[in-house]
Amino acid sequence: MWPIVKMTKREKVRFILEKLEELYPDPPVPLHHKDPYTLLIAVILSAQCTDARVNQITPLLFAKADNPYDMIKLTEEEIREIIKPVGLSPMKAHGIYHLSHILIDKYNGEVPKSFEALEALPSVGHKTASVVMSTAFGVPAFPVDTHIHRMLSRWGISDGTTVTKSENDAKKAFPKSKWNKLHLQIIYYAREYSPARGWDITRDIITQALMASKKK
């Protein structure tokens, strides 16, 4: 248990960063991939699905097509059948097939390195683009998933009204140099210590300390 002291916002941020670094000094990327294209596909498949389930399905898909040129040799129906266990398969298969065509036609089969170009692709929203930009290309970004959205609210970094506001508040609160690693650290922390269901505040060491500070 930490001593209960009133923290300024700056001290709160430093405390969060220090504890996360202590717990997760080298957080791995949850989705298995080998290059920007396979990462892009994996992130698309992860919409409303667990990373664990996606990691079970991507080897089956990538065994048949791990690049856009091989992907368009499959039909949408063939893609859909492979990815059916991750859910939303008709929409995801349609997006994967058509974005693969676009990558070939416009980008020589490569994944573009800009938010604007990525977000113009089928099935690619801002969060997916942020994951690809940060993980594949090392561009500072702060992808906000359900875990990060929850933690930013519990920690008082954002009010939890919208994902967009959570992202903007996080970017204001945390140093830009920390964003890419930090968003992974928060995901792992949320899963292990601060789940949406069955939340036990006595195990949620960061939130507990911050709440105690607030009450002081």
Whichever domain contains 163, its CATH number is: 1.10.1670.10
Catalytic residue among 92, 127, 169, 204: 127
Domain membership flag for residue 109: yes
Q: How confident is the model at residue 1 (pLDDT cuts 50, 70, 90)?
A: very low
Instruction: Determine the average pLDDT of the residues in 201-208.
Output: 96
* pLDDT recorded at residue 143: 98
- 110, 22 contact by CB (below 8 A): no
Domain membership flag for residue 2: no
Residue finishing a domain among 137, 164, 189: 137
Active site residue 204: no
* pLDDT recorded at residue 5: 54
* pLDDT recorded at residue 21: 98
Domain membership flag for residue 128: yes
Are 81 and 133 members of one domain?
Answer: yes
For the record, the structure tokens of 108 come out as 């020589």
pLDDT digits (tens, 9 = 90+) for 25-36: 999 999 999 999
pLDDT digits (tens, 9 = 90+) for 140-153: 999 999 999 999 99
* Helix-strand-coil split of the chain, %, nearest 5: 65, 0, 35
For the record, the structure tokens of 133 come out as 């930009």
Domain membership flag for residue 1: no
For the record, the structure tokens of 81 come out as 């059948």
Are 159 and 132 members of one domain?
Answer: no
* pLDDT recorded at residue 6: 74
Residue finishing a domain among 120, 137, 154: 137
Active site residue 127: yes
* pLDDT recorded at residue 185: 98
Judge whether residue 156 has pLDDT over 80: yes
Are 53 and 86 members of one domain?
Answer: yes
DSSP output for 51-115: HHHHHHHHHHHHHH-SSHHHHTTS-HHHHHHHHGGGS-HHHHHHHHHHHHHHHHHHHTTPPPSSH
Domain membership flag for residue 4: no
- 135, 172 contact by CB (below 8 A): no
* pLDDT recorded at residue 11: 94
Judge whether residue 179 has pLDDT over 70: yes
Judge whether residue 44 has pLDDT over 50: yes
The residue segments making up the domain with residue 116 are 36-137
Are 126 and 146 members of one domain?
Answer: no
Are 169 and 196 members of one domain?
Answer: yes
State the Cα–Cα distance between residues 166 and 117, nearest whole angstrom.
23
Are 66 and 79 members of one domain?
Answer: yes
Are 23 and 67 members of one domain?
Answer: no
Q: What is the pTM assigned to this prediction?
A: 0.93
Q: How many other CB atoms sit within 10 Å of the CB of residue 179?
A: 18
Are 21 and 55 members of one domain?
Answer: no
Are 161 and 98 members of one domain?
Answer: no
Residue finishing a domain among 137, 168, 184: 137
Average pLDDT, the chain: 95
3-state SS class at 26: coil
3-state SS class at 192: helix
pLDDT digits (tens, 9 = 90+) for 65-109: 999 999 999 999 999 999 999 999 999 999 999 999 999 999 999
Catalytic residue among 51, 66, 145, 169: 145
* pLDDT recorded at residue 213: 77
Judge whether residue 17 has pLDDT over 50: yes
Are 177 and 100 members of one domain?
Answer: no
**DSSP class of residue 32?**
-
The CATH number of residue 41's host domain is 1.10.340.30
pLDDT digits (tens, 9 = 90+) for 3-16: 445 788 899 999 99
